[in-house]
Amino acid sequence: MRHVERGFGELQLGISSVAARRPQLLKLHSAPSFAAQWLVPRLGRLLTECEGLELRIAAGTDYTRFLADEFDADVVYGAPSSDFLGHASSQGMVMLPLGTEVVTPLCAPSLAKRIRDARDLFDQTLIESDNKRVRWPAWFAANGLPAPPPRGPRFDRSFISISAAADGLGVALESTMLAERELAAGRLVRPLQGICEDVVYTGHWLVFPSSRRYARSMVLFLDWLGKELGVDVDLAITREMPD
């Protein structure tokens, strides 16, 4: 069955390639911070490199259930729950991990000179990200220290925490992948890089119906996404969620 599916998928892809005379539409749902911090800054390159691709993006924290045709794929934050996995396996979904992320303290350069080791963070304003899977207690535990009581500003989106840290409001514990623009521009720095242990984990996943894996718009996007993230995306071996 898997070989037959692949054969029909390749046939579908070949026919769509020959018949492609109009833009190939991809309707993408995404976790808000991934969309704002990682995807949108790359849209120009994506549309240039994926000729013929038309992209529509909606952002939200709820997982798409794919009960209608409103979306083709969803970039979700955090591995879906067991409830979703049960639904997804019955619907024939594919879940693709989008590489690993490094979660580390980030701050404006003006604060960095006062942070030489993990204990120096006790005297700093620590920005809290309420919806993060990796928060301050986990980072301090990785460095053999108890976390101080929460006392800093709290936000429910990583892109707000990153912006607040870049404005000098305090130290954020965030993914370097999401903060790469601010790090590259020098608005944020990693004061404890090479000094303390960081947390490495898989934060984001791409979920889509297996029936869409050979659609031309999906193939274009998956190929580009894999190159950007350094992730191998092989449609022939991409597995569906287990029952």
Which residue has better confidence, 122 or 52?
122
Cα gap 178→175, rounded to integer Å: 5
Report H helices in the chain: 2-19, 32-34, 43-49, 82-91, 109-112, 136-142, 158-166, 180-185, 216-229
Lowest mean pLDDT among 4-18, 64-78, 127-141: 4-18
pLDDT tens digits, 139-168:
999 999 999 998 899 999 999 999 999 999
Cα gap 13→15, rounded to integer Å: 6
Q: What is the mean pLDDT of the chain?
A: 86
Structure tokens at 229: 């993230």
pTM metric for this prediction: 0.83
Quick one: pLDDT band at residue 2, thresholds 50, 70, 90? low
> Residue type at 222?
L
Residue 102, H or E segment: strand 101-106
Quick one: pLDDT band at residue 43, thresholds 50, 70, 90? very high
Residue 240 has pLDDT above 60, yes or no: no
Q: 3-class DSSP state for residue 39?
A: helix
pLDDT (0 to 100) of residue 234: 64
pLDDT tens digits, 105-122:
999 999 999 999 999 999
Q: What is the signed CA dihedral for 39, 45, 48, 51, rounded to 10 degrees?
A: -40
Residue 136 has pLDDT above 70, yes or no: yes
Cα gap 212→208, rounded to integer Å: 7
